[in-house]
């Protein structure tokens, strides 16, 4: 099948979170299964033109009653050994993408012209296909920046060259919807009669994600539990009604992880590779982690690691919130060390710095650092993820295959990838709790630390069990494949 992925992020070109990992690895996994998969991405300023090949000739995109001109550049993704190849088309438009930032900057987190930028990007998908004389069977759009793709297909393009093309829209995070003033609508080139029919209407504003949820042929999200949760008011971010109405076309498919990058047997970022049979490399990673972060080098003290975006979604209020967060009691009352790598909300970055200055066993690195994230996954004894909601989550899967049992809230993809510890039988792969409260986080970290000191045989068995799990993309890719094929049978 011919499949075009439309996404605002794809590793290694542009990344702010797991979306970038998911899109690239899913594309490669499908290409390995023999499909003709290609990716469409904006050419952000951070993607150097020199690394890409220019496709000759300008591309005209009809927007707001006129033609918007851009250039198209081509890059590629390949699997290790070059077995599978995925072309990556980058839309080059100086006015929209010739600036720092993907969605915004530190001072302007959401660019004012985002509805214009991403509407143009979505419409360009169709023009690129025409230019290449390559009409895909499937247009697979990801998250709100690509939300107009299914809308354009359904209401404009299906009547032209895309008669036999179907759309799939994947929700990676319902918390970001692309809600803007209605004044941007005229630029989309859609009739006003569609404003409500296509699902844009949202309390006198326009909601891009809602239009995709209404218009796409099929909807997916990145774990079965999140698919269920999003149909309820507690997790639906006001979209639960729309999703319930579309329940027959909506499924959850758990993401995989890229095992060529996240594999303790081959990881170049850790001091010595290791496996479930020989964990000595893990002990060395712990030593290096302690050294790099200036912690006392004591192999007997457990390390709790954490990596991620510091946003409300990740439970940072309950963990680090001033006055009531769990971190203070975790670090003062339990015998452990804690290492945190992340960036995000400013209050949280500041609070972390201030906590670290008062707690000798808490070390913090504010920023984004690929290499250190690998060392934390490998060198920690436990990995903490107390998410408020988690559509899939990749870090807990990384930590499982690195032999680092995760401590997680039972939600979304965390519920689907971790199995809770049973202290009677020693079964399980991690530690879970339900209520997002400082008390529950503290208690569950405490439970893991108790097991570390008092049930070391259980912990070793848990590490090995996690390392033997198969989170490779192949299984998930076959489920997407079946979803695509159902359109044509
Ligand atoms: P989300 O997409 O909600 O941020 P995921 O767990 O799906 O959560 O994916 C996060 C991805 O971003 C992982 O690959 C993780 O390692 C990476 N990541 C997040 N923050 C950092 C950071 N500060 N340094 C390095 N990698 C990070
Ligand atoms: C989102 C979600 C995360 C998921 C990722 C990839 O960023 O927050 O849970 O793993 O997308 O699908």
The tens digit of pLDDT for each residue in 386-434 reads 999 999 999 999 999 999 999 999 999 999 999 999 999 999 999 999 9
Please state, in angstroms and rounded to a whole number, the distance separating the CA atoms of residues 303 and 164.
54
**Cβ atoms within 10 Å, residue 211:** 31
Residues 427 and 478 in one domain: no
Whether the per-residue pLDDT at 290 is higher than 80: the answer is yes
Ligand lying closest to the C-alpha of residue 174 = 2
Residue range 111-138: mean pLDDT, rounded: 98
Query: 287: domain range?
Result: 280-470
Q: Is residue 270 part of a domain?
A: no
Ligand 1 site residues (CB inside 6 A) read 17-19, 21, 307-309, 341-343, 368-370, 373, 392-395
- Token pair listed for 138: 């499937």
Q: Is residue 272 part of a domain?
A: no
pLDDT above 90: percentage of residues in the chain = 97
Residue 213, classed as helix, strand or coil, is helix
pLDDT at 230: 98
Would the pTM count as exceeding 0.75? yes
Residue whose CA is closest, atom 5 of ligand 2? 18
Residue whose CA is closest, atom 14 of ligand 1? 18
Residues 462 and 315 in one domain: yes
Q: Is residue 269 part of a domain?
A: no
pLDDT at 224: 98
Counting ligand 2 atoms within 8 A of each CB, the residue from 392, 398, 416, 418 with the most, and so the one to mutate, is: 392
Ligand lying closest to the C-alpha of residue 364 = 1
Please state, in angstroms and rounded to a whole number, the distance separating the CA atoms of residues 377 and 380.
6
pLDDT at 61: 98
Query: Which atom of ligand 2 is least distant from the CA of 387?
Result: 9
Range list of H helices, 83-182: 94-97, 114-132, 148-155
Ligand 2 site residues (CB inside 6 A) read 17-19, 22, 172-173, 222, 255, 390-394, 413
Residue whose CA is closest, atom 20 of ligand 1? 308
The label of the residue with tokens 């998410």 reads 387
Q: Is residue 261 part of a domain?
A: no
Residues 216 and 312 in one domain: no
Residues 216 and 128 in one domain: yes
Q: Is residue 274 part of a domain?
A: no
Residue range 254-270: mean pLDDT, rounded: 95
Residue range 236-255: mean pLDDT, rounded: 98
Residues 241 and 293 in one domain: no
Residues 450 and 484 in one domain: no
The total number of structural domains in the chain stands at 2
CATH number at residue 162: 3.40.50.2000
Q: Is residue 267 part of a domain?
A: no
335 CB contacts (<8 Å, ≥6 apart)?
Answer: 301, 302, 449, 453
- Token pair listed for 240: 């639960």
3-state secondary structure 378-405: HHCCEEEECCCCCCCCCHHHHHHHCCCC
Q: Is residue 262 part of a domain?
A: no
Please state, in angstroms and rounded to a whole number, the distance separating the CA atoms of residues 96 and 122.
13
Residues 245 and 375 in one domain: no
Residues 166 and 196 in one domain: yes
How many A from CA of 99 to the centre of ligand 2? 25
Query: Which atom of ligand 1 is least distant from the CA of 313?
Result: 3
Residues 175 and 286 in one domain: no
- List the beta strands (DSSP E) in 11-78: 36-42, 53-63, 66-78
Average pLDDT, the chain: 97
Q: Are 334 and 449 in contact (CB under 8 A)?
A: yes
Buried (b) or exposed (e) across 291-319, using 16+ Cβ within 10 A?
eebebeeeeebbbbbbbbbbbbbbbbbbb
Residues 375 and 353 in one domain: yes
Burial of 172 by CB count in 10 Å (0-12 exposed, 13-18 middle, 19+ buried)?
A: buried
Q: Is residue 421 part of a domain?
A: yes
How many A from CA of 16 to the centre of ligand 1? 7
How many A from CA of 373 to the centre of ligand 1? 9
How many A from CA of 307 to the centre of ligand 1? 7
Residues 247 and 295 in one domain: no
Residues 95 and 224 in one domain: yes
- Token pair listed for 154: 């359904």
């Amino acid at each position: 099948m011919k499949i075009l992925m439309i996404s605002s992020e794809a590793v290694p070109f542009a990344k702010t979170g797991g979306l970038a990992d998911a899109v690239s690895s899913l594309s490669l996994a499908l290409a390995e299964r023999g499909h003709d998969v290609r990716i469409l991405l904006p050419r952000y300023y951070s993607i150097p033109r020199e690394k890409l090949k220019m496709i000759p000739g300008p591309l005209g995109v009809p927007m707001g009653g006129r033609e918007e001109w851009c250039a198209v550049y081509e890059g590629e993704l390949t699997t290790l050994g070059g077995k599978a190849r995925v072309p990556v088309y980058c839309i080059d438009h100086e006015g929209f993408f010739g600036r720092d930032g993907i969605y915004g900057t530190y001072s302007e987190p959401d660019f004012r012209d985002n509805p214009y930028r991403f509407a143009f990007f979505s419409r360009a998908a169709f023009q690129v296909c025409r230019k290449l004389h390559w009409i895909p069977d499937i247009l697979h759009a990801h998250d709100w920046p690509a939300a107009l793709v299914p809308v354009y297909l359904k209401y404009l393009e299906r009547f032209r060259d895309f008669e036999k093309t179907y759309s799939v829209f994947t929700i990676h995070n319902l918390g970001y919807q692309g809600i803007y003033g209605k004044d941007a609508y005229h630029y989309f080139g859609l009739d006003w009669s569609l404003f409500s029919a296509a699902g844009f209407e949202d309390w006198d504003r326009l909601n891009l994600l809602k239009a995709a949820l209404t218009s796409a042929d099929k909807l997916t999200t990145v774990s079965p539990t999140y698919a269920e949760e999003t149909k309820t008011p507690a997790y639906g971010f006001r979209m639960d009604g729309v999703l319930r109405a579309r329940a027959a076309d909506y499924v959850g498919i758990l993401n995989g992880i890229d095992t060529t990058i996240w594999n303790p047997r081959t990881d170049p970022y850790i001091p010595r590779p290791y496996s479930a049979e020989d964990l000595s490399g893990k002990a060395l990673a712990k030593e290096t982690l302690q050294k790099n972060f200036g912690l006392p080098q004591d192999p007997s003290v457990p390390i709790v690691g954490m990596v991620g975006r510091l946003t409300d979604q990740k439970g940072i209020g309950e963990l680090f919130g001033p006055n009531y967060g769990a971190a203070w009691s975790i670090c003062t009352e339990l015998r452990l060390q804690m290492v945190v790598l992340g960036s995000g909300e400013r209050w949280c970055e500041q609070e972390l710095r201030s906590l670290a200055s008062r707690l000798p066993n808490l070390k913090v690195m504010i920023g984004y650092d690929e290499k250190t994230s690998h060392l934390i996954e490998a060198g920690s004894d436990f990995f903490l993820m107390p998410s408020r909601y988690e559509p899939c989550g990749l870090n807990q899967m990384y930590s499982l295959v690195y032999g680092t049992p995760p401590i997680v809230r039972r939600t979304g993809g965390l519920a689907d990838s971790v199995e809770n510890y049973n202290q009677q039988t020693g079964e399980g792969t991690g530690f879970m709790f339900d209520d997002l409260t400082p008390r529950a986080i503290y208690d569950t970290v405490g439970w893991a630390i108790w097991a570390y000191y008092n049930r070391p045989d259980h912990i070793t068995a848990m590490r090995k069990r996690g390392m033997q799990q198969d989170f490779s993309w192949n299984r998930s890719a076959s489920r997407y494949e079946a979803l695509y094929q159902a359109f044509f049978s």
